[in-house]
A and B are shown apart, each in its own frame.
Chain A
Amino acid sequence: MTASFKSPAEPKLNNLDLAPSSEPGISGDLLEVAMGPHHPSTHGVFRMDIVLDGERVIRLKPVFGYLHRNHEKIAENITYIASMPYTDRLDYICSLTNNWAYALAVEKLVGLEVPERAEYLRIILGELTRFQNHASTIGFLIQEMGASGTPLMYAFREREKILDLFESLTGSRMMCNYMRFGGCRVDPSAEWLDQVRKVVAGLPAFTDEIDRLLTSNEILMARTQGIGILPPDLAVNAGITGPMLRASGVNYDIRKIDSYGIYNRFTFRVPLGERGDVYDRYMIRLLEMRESIRILEQALKNVPGGPIVDPKSKIRGFRPKPGEAYGRIEAPKGELGFYLISDGGPNPYRYRVRPPSLVNLTILEDMCLGAAVADVVIIFGSVDIVLGEVDR
């Protein structure tokens, strides 16, 4: 970790009335606990080496790499299109946005035009993905607080409907492999779009349900408010993106800044938090789900006809001219970028992923210092990571 990742200020004790049991500087009764890689609440194989003073965290070292699959090196040895299914496996909750980011990077590299209809489809699928990702993130977060899975099951109930849509369009529920360079793979039928409209019409009921179930719950407030505070300057310095950054009050949404795709045609707002604690991160996700529904409603109103893939695009014998390109999108977890260098061959010369999960996770120690072990679990849950993307 570089120096800029460290908090400039003394880490604040997060609203916890625990007296330090030893003199500062004396490490008398410190307890070292390795949380993970086989711990129920580490979302997969992830380890946190925690040094505890009583129940207070005084050091935390995230250890990752247990799920490393050599994604970038593999991608440099296979053709461009063959990497597309591999991007599904980065953040396996939102494969469609991963596809989109990679397709965007290649489109920039080659200069392909995306047809209108494909742009609309990408927006619809991207926002559905964002919705189901945020829903399950909230579910997992509350699950870690011990709610025996109720919000998680509600989230999965809605996610089920969205995944059914994905399956009936792309053939797979999670590993969609749907976007292609310069468009999309399959043209959806009118019935499919009607189905989407029906599902989207039911989504506000779900956000309201989660809202009633959780938002004003005193236990949730007591557990999450003032816990895991991430100050805006630290967040910016550490390169945090996505809902986590916005929960700290920084207005940074790539959908607004880059307006990639056709996001500039839709009206939506970017919710911003003030304190940057776990509750803010939960609320920002909930509010973003509502904005996603707004975008979906606008996009579904008039999906234009026409081709869904640039006729110049081809799958076999795809050799971009030498050059480089960086394509980034606002993935549900933050800025997902793909950096490509082409040397004119069929395989990329360099292929690099900028994973939001990994970058957002680097700040974990600064948020957890002074918190209790029980809080570490929910702070970790509020970061919203998928280990497939962290370790690649």
Chain B
Amino acid sequence: MFGEGILKGLAETAKNFFGSYVSADRLTTVEYPEKRLEPIEAARVFPFLVYDGGDWQAGLRCVACQICEKECPPKCIYIEKSKDKKPDAVGKMQFYPTRFDIDVSVCMSCQICVEVCPFDAIKMDKLFELATDDRFGGLILDRGMLAKSNQYFHGIHPTEAAEVDARLTAERAKSAAKAGAPAAKDAGRPQPPPPGEK
């Protein structure tokens, strides 16, 4: 009948009008700066570099292997390798990055760098309030800005961080055992990725 569909539509909007006052299911809006959604653990925004211990320069896990730089689809990572070496997360002597820049205006948050990293050194951050008034310089994050502590990593991705820690502890034990043995000939070379790790 002519007019029936119109009345049904009106009933539906009326139902939603009143429903939005009683049901949180209908009114999904959150008034953002004052209220925030519960953080989702898996969320990813931009990468950051994990360091162990208190000093970010000493504890940086990154060994400047440049795999992420190569694999990054939009090529937003720029790394300069150091001349000297420092002990890495598992205690081996490794190179470290003297420069590690990520241009977040280019980065597309795809997480490929995290997947290819054999050292669990780069992880995805959840920080998204990165607005700046400098279009170019302000959006290039350098080593210091990228470095975040392992505790921070535990704070944002607890499950993943626990896995990583377990793996690293195992490796630390292994390398400690190896270091005890006299033939530590390949200590300087980057560690091949453990099997099963992506």
Contacts and interface: CB of A to CB of B under 8 A. Distances in A.
B12 A172 contact: no
Interface string A85-110: 11011000000000000000000000
A215 B71 CA distance: 49
B54 interface: no
Contacts of A79: 71
A177 B110 contact: yes
A175 B12 CA distance: 33
B21 to A, nearest CB: 15
Interface of A: 78-79, 81-86, 88-89, 150, 154, 157, 160-161, 164, 167-172, 175, 177, 185-186, 202, 209, 212-221, 315-316
B108 interface: yes
A168 B110 contact: no
A219 B6 contact: yes
B100 to A, nearest CB: 20
Interface string B46-77: 00000000000000000000010001110000
Given A78-B73, A168-B42, A175-B110, A160 B8 contact: no
B13 A213 contact: yes
A150 B13 contact: yes
B108 A85 contact: yes
B43 interface: yes
Contact of B9 (A164, A171, A186, A212): A212
A215 B5 CA distance: 8
Listed residue (B11, B26, B44) with the most chain A CB atoms within 10 angstroms of its CB: B44
Interface string B79-106: 0000000000000000000000000000
A168 B40 contact: yes
Given A85-B73, A186-B42, A216 B4 contact: yes
Contact of A81 (B12, B112, B124): B112
B124 to A, nearest CB: 7
Contacts of A157: 26, 28
Contact of A217 (B6, B67, B73): B6
B182 interface: no
Nearest to B16: A154
A217 B111 contact: no
A323 to B, nearest CB: 23
Interface of B: 2-6, 8-9, 11-13, 16, 25-26, 28, 40-44, 67, 71-73, 108-112, 115-116, 124, 198
A217 B4 CA distance: 8
B5 A218 contact: yes
21 contacts: A81-B71, A81-B112, A82-B112, A160-B28, A167-B43, A168-B40, A171-B124, A177-B110, A177-B111, A212-B8, A212-B11, A212-B12, A213-B8, A213-B9, A213-B13, A217-B5, A217-B9, A218-B6, A220-B5, A315-B116, A316-B116
Given A78-B73, A216-B5, A316 B44 contact: no
Going nearest first, the 10 A-B pairs with the smallest beta carbon separation are A85-B110, A216-B5, A171-B44, A82-B73, A217-B5, A213-B12, A171-B42, A168-B40, A213-B9, A177-B110
Given A212-B9, A213-B8, A316 B109 contact: no
B96 to A, nearest CB: 21
A315 B198 contact: yes
Contact of B40 (A83, A89, A164, A215): A164
Contacts of B8: 212-213, 216-217
Contacts of A160: 28
A167 B42 contact: yes
